[in-house]
């Protein structure tokens, strides 16, 4: 580029800064931004907005039907219940982005939990149990990835075999623990692991932590946009950045305020469950990994056009294997959260349904089943939708049968809305 650059290039700054660009994504004012957002929603580039609107609508519906829904007790329960669907959804997003799926992840999670709880029952420290369990699930994920990527087999079939195999392994492992897994159940004997779902920060700590989280997230958002703006590059208008920062802060304050209400009847119970922080932590790390590293970029590239990625010199087999490994790793985290929620792990875990719920959560959140499109945040939003529906229907006293069918309808609705808006974009 430098050796032959005799061009004086008088109109060097035309590309990004032309008036045309300003009229589009480079909105210069807030009203312009709203117009653009409206256009993008109609053309299928809607982002998170429809899910949030849908979530609010569902919440209003349940609150009208049963005023207990928005009680602090129920909402905090909901946070704890959603945690494992959300993290399992995050696990799936790694492979969904490639256009793959991991049907085994539900049982990967369960087997990881068995490993961890077994070690804890034998008296190992909690961190050792967590490390070994996560290493095992990551290794299993990598194995599925190697088989899928190296041999070019469809992940659907490879991981279906994995689902069958691991559901068998789950039975085997629990019976192999002998006296530890009496009756097919291993109990959780560790206060730290138990506290993930059943421990609460003190109210003061809740305020401090959530405000700190919001400030850090807001600062990252603001600084990122500020740097782009000062470098003269494409960036949202200041008002939009401030709106996003305000949204993050508001969400954090609401969560903290709800969690800090006393929800106990006989004794005082208040504070935010640790699981919220765990989920936020995983969300942050995985979002950075997908959005700001080469690995993440290549995952999107492979999901968008594998051949183009290969021609760009990307080692497709390596990236796919890594993605499956991270899926297994995140599934392992899910297993530990799941066990913490139940206080035990049993051979009756419905790993098949859990994984489908997780895929549903990711898709409802806006991640494509066909690869190339999705974000970790989608698992959080979709996981909340799935969790809210099952929680709300339970409050209304509906049976499991009705809950499943309603969840199915919401999933279908999400996919149909997505397809219709997308068709509008291509037409």
Partner 1 sequence: MRATARTPDGLIRQDVTVNDAEPLLRLRGIGKSFGPVRALTDINFEIPAGQVTALVGDNGAGKSTLIKTVAGIWEPNGGEIFWQGKQVHFHTPKEATNAGIATVYQDLALCDNLDIVQNMMLGHEDLKVGLLDEIRMEKEAKNTLADLRVTTVRNIRQPVGSLSGGQRQSVAVAKAVMQEAKLVIMDEPTAALGVKQTALILDLIKRLSGRGIAVLVISHNLVDVFQVADRIAVLYLGRLVKEGPKSEFTTDSAVHWITTGTGPTNNGAEAQTTEAQP
Kindly tell me which of 110 and 319 has the beta carbon lying closer to partner 1: 319
Q: What is the residue whose two structure tokens read 């929603």?
A: 41
Which DSSP symbol is given to 157? Answer: H
Kindly tell me which of 100 and 197 has the beta carbon lying closer to partner 1: 100
| Distance of alpha carbon 314 from alpha carbon 318, whole angstroms | 9
From residue 348, how far is each of 13, 52, 144, 414 by CA, in Å? 63, 34, 24, 30
Kindly tell me which of 234 and 342 has the beta carbon lying closer to partner 1: 234
- Smallest separation (angstroms) from partner 1 to the CB of 15: 5
Q: Which of 49, 24, 34 is nearest to 418 (CA)?
A: 49
Residues 6+ apart with CB under 8 A from 344: 117, 185, 186, 187, 188
186 φ/ψ angles, rounded to the nearest 5 degrees: -105, 125
Kindly tell me which of 46 and 159 has the beta carbon lying closer to partner 1: 46
Q: Which two tokens stand for residue 257?
A: 């305020």
- Smallest separation (angstroms) from partner 1 to the CB of 330: 21
Which DSSP symbol is given to 29? Answer: S
Residues 6+ apart with CB under 8 A from 378: 48, 51, 89, 93, 362, 365, 366, 367
H-helix or E-strand spanning residue 337 = helix 316-342
- Smallest separation (angstroms) from partner 1 to the CB of 7: 6
Q: Which residues bind partner 1 (CB under 8 A)?
A: 1, 3-7, 9, 11-16, 18, 20-21, 23-26, 227-228, 231, 233-234, 288, 292-294, 297, 300-301, 303-305, 307-309, 311-314, 372-373
The answer to whether the beta carbons of residues 288 and 90 sit under 8 Å apart is no
Q: Which of 414, 392, 413 is nearest to 403 (CA)?
A: 392
Kindly tell me which of 126 and 295 has the beta carbon lying closer to partner 1: 295
Kindly tell me which of 306 and 344 has the beta carbon lying closer to partner 1: 306
- Smallest separation (angstroms) from partner 1 to the CB of 96: 13
Kindly tell me which of 262 and 293 has the beta carbon lying closer to partner 1: 293
- Smallest separation (angstroms) from partner 1 to the CB of 180: 42
- Smallest separation (angstroms) from partner 1 to the CB of 350: 33
- Smallest separation (angstroms) from partner 1 to the CB of 4: 3
3-state SS class at 213: helix
Kindly tell me which of 235 and 385 has the beta carbon lying closer to partner 1: 235
- Smallest separation (angstroms) from partner 1 to the CB of 33: 13
- Pure H helices in 343-375: 351-365
Kindly tell me which of 43 and 77 has the beta carbon lying closer to partner 1: 43
- Smallest separation (angstroms) from partner 1 to the CB of 225: 11
3-state SS class at 273: strand
The answer to whether the beta carbons of residues 373 and 351 sit under 8 Å apart is no
């Amino acid at each position: 580029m430098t050796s032959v650059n005799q061009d004086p290039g008088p109109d060097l700054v035309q590309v990004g800064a032309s008036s045309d660009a300003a009229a589009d994504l480079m909105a210069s004012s807030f009203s312009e931004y709203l117009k653009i957002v409206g256009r993008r929603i109609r053309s299928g580039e809607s982002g998170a907005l429809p899910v949030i609107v849908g979530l609010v609508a569902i919440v209003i519906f349940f609150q009208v039907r049963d005023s207990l829904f928005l009680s602090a007790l129920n909402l905090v329960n909901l946070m704890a219940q959603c945690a494992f669907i959300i993290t399992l959804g995050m696990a799936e997003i790694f492979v969904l982005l490639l256009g793959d799926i991991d049907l085994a992840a539900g049982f990967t999670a369960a087997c990881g939990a068995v490993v961890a709880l077994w070690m804890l029952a034998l008296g190992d420290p909690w961190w050792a149990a967590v490390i070994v369990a996560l290493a095992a699930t990551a290794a299993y994920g990598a194995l599925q990835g190697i088989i899928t990527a190296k041999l070019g087999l469809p992940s659907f079939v490879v991981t279906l075999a994995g689902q069958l195999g691991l559901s068998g392994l789950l039975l085997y492992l629990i019976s192999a623990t002998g006296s530890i897994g009496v009756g097919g159940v291993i109990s959780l004997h560790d206060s730290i692991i138990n506290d993930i779902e059943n421990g609460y920060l003190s109210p003061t700590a809740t305020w401090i932590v959530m405000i700190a989280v919001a400030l850090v997230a807001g600062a990252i958002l603001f600084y990122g946009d500020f740097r782009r703006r000062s470098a003269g590059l494409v960036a949202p208008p200041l008002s939009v950045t401030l709106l996003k920062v305000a949204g993050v802060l508001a969400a954090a304050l609401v969560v903290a305020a709800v969690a800090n209400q006393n929800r106990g009847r006989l004794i005082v119970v208040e504070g935010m469950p640790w699981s919220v922080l765990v989920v936020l932590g995983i969300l942050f790390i995985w979002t950075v990994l997908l959005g700001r590293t080469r690995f993440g970029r290549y995952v999107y590239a492979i999901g968008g056009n594998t051949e183009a990625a290969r021609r760009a010199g990307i080692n497709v087999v390596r990236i796919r294997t890594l993605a499956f490994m991270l899926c297994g790793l995140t599934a392992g985290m899910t297993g530990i959260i799941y066990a913490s929620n139940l206080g035990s792990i049993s051979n009756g875990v419905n790993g098949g349904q859990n994984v489908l719920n997780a895929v549903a959560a990711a898709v409802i959140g806006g991640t494509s089943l066909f690869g190339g499109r999705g974000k970790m945040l989608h698992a959080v939003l979709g996981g909340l939708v799935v969790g809210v529906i099952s929680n709300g229907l339970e409050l209304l006293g509906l049976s499991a049968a009705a809950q499943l069918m309603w969840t199915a309808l919401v999933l279908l609705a999400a996919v149909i809305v997505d397809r219709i808006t997308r068709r509008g974009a291509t037409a």
